[in-house]
Amino acid sequence: MDRNPLISLELLEELIGPFLPVVYSNKLSLNSRGRYRTLVEVRIIYTSLAHNMGHPVQDIAKVLKKDRTVMLYYIKQFRNLMQTDPDFRDKFYEIKNRIQTYYPYEPSIVDYTDQVQYQPEPGIFLGLLSV
């Protein structure tokens, strides 16, 4: 993206930290190898927020120690989960409110994400109907 990132990836990771799951009394990090649903959901939210704040997919992938194609998959999954999963949507809005609490002077930090993420992908349902 051509935009300058609104906040750093490290700061975004710090703000999302309280939403990371605790497993066997150990708090997992964003780049841990676990595939727990709650951890993956937080990674998906982190990836989508970071991407919409202007960070390149490659930089996000380095922080999470994943391939860039995984980041593209997470961005797509974010759209799907926002449309279909009310619990995921609630978690996203909790994280969004936390970010806006720390950065009230930047009202556009996460608002752009809302606009982009609710746009459905046009070809999905038409392709299902023709089968």
User: So what's the pLDDT on residue 114?
Assistant: 55
- Does a structural domain hold residue 24? yes
The residue to which tokens 């606009």 are assigned = 115
- Does a structural domain hold residue 1? no
What is the longest distance spanned by two Cα atoms in the chain?
49
Plot region of 28 (φ>0 → left; ψ -120 to 50 → alpha; else → beta): beta
User: So what's the pLDDT on residue 72?
Assistant: 93
As for how many domains the chain has, the answer is: 1
User: So what's the pLDDT on residue 1?
Assistant: 44
Which segments in the chain show pLDDT lower than 70? 1-3, 104-131
User: So what's the pLDDT on residue 103?
Assistant: 75
CATH number (domain holding residue 104): 1.10.1750.10
Listed residue (102, 6, 17) closest to 52, CA to CA: 6
- Does a structural domain hold residue 47? yes
- Does a structural domain hold residue 55? yes
